């Protein structure tokens, strides 16, 4: 990880700074309620079943993963105390933390890890189903040892980088009977974390209280965390200013309000604490529409969009042009060679559409498409409108279909009822964690943020599988360069804008943003100054 970027410095604006050294010398204060902006409700809150920032922001305080990331972005043990891997990458052994209990008083054991890995991560969890496709078994030689056995090598670095997001554990005794997906604990989670679930009122709030039996001595400091459901960005900004909300995560406020609050000495508006959640804006094509199966049409759509203009006029310092599915911050895997790109070129777009046989008809219209944007952030809504206006210039009429979170996930990933979709892809340290899943075929229908486009390429599937099982880091990087070149050529989806999430903190919050996935992590050491 690196220090503050020029972009972060801009976001801080003229706000008064509290030196980190001064904060570090303060004595943590016990008590208090941390109120959190919850912008988009989820159907479930169990991070063992759904990898999503909207799930982690709540579930990550109640349930825990085997590992998390430390301040430098390195894997650190949570429910696992230590680990070791065989040189061939086929066996990984985790020594589990002793003396940990679930919130219902039952002991945490290796049986919970075995059950979660085999029944949730491997079969249901989006991203997990691909990551763990070669997981054959989890052996439990004793209650505090879990041995993961793979049929093809699992690079240790990949597994350790994946587990902070894809390694949350659920209690076997709660989920082993009945349909896992319908279990009431998915919306009233039972975990080992610093906070215990209390209440969820749909459309209003979620409450979790301090776990008095937490395994970390004398933690957590907070008495309670309350997530307030506020879908209106202006209302959320007003509640930040009035003190009703103390934290707004994941760029949930309007761009103007994030910049404005960053100039207010009471707040910090920053990318700090989100370094592990780099994101790219997407444009996804449904190959079930025969128009979009023609690569000339997909390239024409890309050439029609003036991405630098959009960034300069709508996103400002919050973004920069992307170059593919692996963002530039990924020093280990970002390709060094130039990859196929699709710059703004209306003449090329018109030529490609003509060549594809889509001549302009009445009113200059070539054909109609429906665009379904995700409801996650203002930039996605702006991007959808920009796409609509830009494509009209080349004769493509676009209808925007706006849905709530549940409706978007169902329409795009389960019903496949869309032509174009747009949202966020999040890069999580290694391409095999959450990036290649957008391209590899075979994910279960309905799994969010996976390849549900009706597009399959066996050659690219092979590159993805070989890269995910290659233990030599030099060869892995070369394979990922092959992957980026292939998907940028075929363009089954496009990732043209690179961003890092912005958090807005009330400066009363201490130990905020102290690891690269802070909004998703446990908050066991978070406290509030008076």
Q: What is the pLDDT of residue 472?
A: 93
Where does 250-400 show beta strands of DSSP type E?
Answer: 267-270, 278-285, 319-321, 367-373, 396-400
CATH architecture of the domain with residue range 278-500: Roll (3.10)
421-452 per-position pLDDT tens digit: 999 999 988 999 999 999 999 999 998 999 99
Record: fold of 67-175: Dipeptide-binding Protein; domain 1 (3.90.76)
* Residue ranges matching CATH 3.40.190.10 in the chain: 6-54+193-275+502-528
Instruction: Residue 202: name the closest of 409, 402, 38 by CA.
Output: 38
Chain centroid, CA 524 distance in Å: 21
Paired strand residues for 267: 506
pLDDT beyond 80 at 17? no
CA distances from 115 to 46, 152, 380, 408, 486 (A): 15, 21, 37, 30, 37
- Of the CATH numbers 3.65.10.10, 3.30.1280.10, 3.40.190.10, 3.40.718.10, which one belongs to the domain with range 6-54+193-275+502-528? 3.40.190.10
192-231 per-position pLDDT tens digit: 999 999 999 999 999 999 999 999 999 999 999 999 999 9
Give the mean pLDDT of 105-111.
98
pLDDT beyond 80 at 368? yes
Whole-angstrom distance, CA of residue 106 vs CA of residue 88 = 36
* Residue ranges matching CATH 3.90.76.10 in the chain: 67-175
480-513 per-position pLDDT tens digit: 999 999 999 999 999 999 999 999 999 999 999 9
- Backbone φ and ψ of 186, nearest 5°: -70, -25
Give the mean pLDDT of 61-65.
98
The two structure tokens encoding residue 419: 């032509």
* Residue ranges matching CATH 3.10.105.10 in the chain: 278-500
Give the mean pLDDT of 414-426.
96
Paired strand residues for 149: 91, 137
């Amino acid at each position: 990880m690196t220090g503050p970027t020029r972009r972060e410095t801009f976001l801080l604006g003229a706000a008064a700074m509290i030196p980190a050294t001064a904060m570090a010398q303060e004595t943590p204060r016990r008590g208090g309620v941390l109120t959190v902006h919850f912008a988009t409700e989820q159907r479930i809150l169990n991070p063992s079943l759904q990898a999503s920032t909207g799930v982690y922001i709540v579930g990550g305080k109640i349930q825990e993963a085997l590992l998390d990331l430390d301040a430098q972005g390195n894997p650190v043990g949570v429910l696992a105390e230590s680990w070791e891997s065989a040189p061939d990458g086929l066996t990984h052994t985790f020594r589990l933390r002793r003396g940990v209990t679930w919130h219902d008083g039952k002991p945490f054991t290796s049986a919970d890890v075995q059950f979660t890995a085999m029944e949730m991560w491997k079969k249901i969890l989006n991203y997990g189903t691909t990551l763990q496709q070669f997981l054959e078994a989890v052996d439990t030689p004793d209650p505090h040892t879990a041995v993961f056995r793979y049929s093809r090598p699992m690079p240790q670095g990949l597994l350790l980088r994946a587990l902070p997001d894809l390694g949350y554990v659920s209690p076997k005794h709660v989920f082993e009977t009945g349909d896992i997906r319908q279990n009431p604990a998915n919306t009233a989670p039972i975990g080992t974390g610093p906070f215990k679930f209390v209440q969820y009122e749909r459309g209003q709030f979620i409450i979790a209280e301090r776990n008095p039996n937490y395994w970390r001595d004398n933690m957590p400091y907070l008495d309670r965390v309350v997530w307030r459901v506020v879908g209106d960005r202006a209302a959320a900004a007003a509640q930040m200013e009035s003190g009703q909300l103390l934290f707004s995560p994941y760029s949930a406020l309007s761009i103007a309000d994030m910049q404005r609050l960053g100039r207010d000495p009471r707040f910090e508006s920053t990318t700090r604490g989100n370094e592990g959640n780099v994101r790219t804006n997407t444009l996804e094509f449904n190959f079930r529409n025969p128009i979009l199966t023609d690569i000339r049409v997909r390239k024409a759509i890309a050439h029609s969009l003036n991405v630098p203009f959009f960034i300069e006029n709508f996103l400002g310092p919050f973004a920069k042009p992307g170059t593919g599915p692996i963002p530039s911050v990924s020093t280990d895997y970002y390709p060094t060679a130039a990859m196929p790109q699709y710059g703004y070129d209306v003449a090329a777009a018109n030529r490609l559409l003509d060549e594809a046989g889509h001549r302009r008809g009445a009113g200059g219209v070539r054909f109609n498409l429906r665009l379904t944007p995700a409801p996650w952030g203002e930039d996605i809504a702006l991007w959808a409108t920009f796409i609509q206006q830009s494509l009209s210039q080349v004769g493509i009429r676009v209808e925007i279909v706006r849905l709530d979170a549940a409706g978007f996930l169902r329409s795009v990933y389960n019903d496949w009822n869309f032509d174009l979709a747009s949202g966020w892809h999040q890069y999580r340290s290694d391409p095999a964690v959450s990036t290649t899943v957008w391209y590899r075929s075979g994910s279960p229908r309905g799994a969010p943020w996976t390849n549900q486009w009706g597009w399959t390429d066996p050659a690219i599937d092979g590159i993805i599988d070989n890269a995910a099982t290659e233990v030599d880091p030099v060869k892995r990087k070369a394979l990922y360069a092959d992957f980026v070149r292939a998907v940028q050529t075929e363009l089954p989806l496009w990732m043209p804008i690179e961003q890092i999430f912005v958090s807005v903190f009330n400066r009363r919050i201490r130990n905020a943003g102290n690891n690269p996935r802070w909004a998703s992590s446990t908050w066991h050491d978070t406290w509030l100054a008076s």
